[in-house]
């Protein structure tokens, strides 16, 4: 491997030489995807805590709110900021030249909505306003499926 200056280097294989670059666009996507790992994982954990059995509702709620506020919300904000920054850098490409981003943002919007609904249920349990998980099990399923579909549309660039 030979350095070629800021942000670039060469890798030499058996039969070819390929330049590998870490540009801003790729860096934003990397940060966005990293934040997504923590965001989606945290909300899944919030849902599991809300749904836990044989544990006092307030205790479940308090633990779920801690995960929500310390990991879920910061990771969501990071994902949103880096994803939006990448989007606005090439709005023409994402909104006019290609079509996959429309589908991707629809699923992302559902994921964001359910993030707030599941977080709100955790807060209600913690405050004593609610003592049951309500529709959390079904909402968590929809949340997981929509997160997977958001990733699918953008990775396979669907619809074409």
32 binds ligand HEM (CB under 6 A): yes
Minimum CB–partner distance for residue 140 and ligand HEM (Å) = 14
Residues sharing a CB contact under 8 Å with residue 3, sequence separation 6 or more, in sequence order:
9
83 binds ligand HEM (CB under 6 A): yes
> What are phi and psi for residue 126, nearest 5 degrees?
-65, -35
How far apart CA 26 and CA 45 sit, in angstroms, is 29
Chain-centre distance for alpha carbon 25: 18
How far apart CA 102 and CA 149 sit, in angstroms, is 12
Q: Indicate the residue among 39 and 63 with the shorter CB distance to ligand HEM.
A: 39
Size of the site for ligand HEM (CB under 6 A): 19
72 binds ligand HEM (CB under 6 A): no
Where along the sequence are the contacts to ligand HEM (CB under 6 A)?
A: 29, 32-33, 36, 40, 79-80, 83-84, 86-87, 94, 108, 111, 147, 150-151, 154-155
């Amino acid at each position: 491997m030979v350095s070629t200056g800021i942000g670039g280097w060469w890798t030499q294989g058996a039969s070819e030489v390929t330049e590998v670059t870490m540009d801003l666009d790729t860096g934003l996507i990397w940060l966005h995807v990293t934040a997504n790992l923590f965001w989606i994982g945290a909300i899944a954990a919030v849902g599991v805590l809300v749904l836990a059995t044989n544990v006092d509702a307030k205790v479940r709620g308090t633990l779920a709110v801690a995960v929500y506020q310390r990991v879920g919300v910061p990771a969501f904000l990071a994902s949103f900021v880096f994803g939006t920054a990448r989007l606005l850098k090439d709005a023409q490409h994402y909104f006019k030249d290609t079509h996959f981003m429309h589908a991707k943002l629809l699923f992302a919007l559902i994921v964001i909505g359910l993030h707030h609904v599941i977080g709100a249920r955790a807060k209600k349990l913690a405050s004593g306003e609610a003592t049951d998980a309500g529709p959390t099990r079904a909402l968590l399923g929809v949340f997981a499926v929509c997160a997977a579909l958001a990733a699918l549309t953008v990775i396979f660039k669907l619809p074409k």
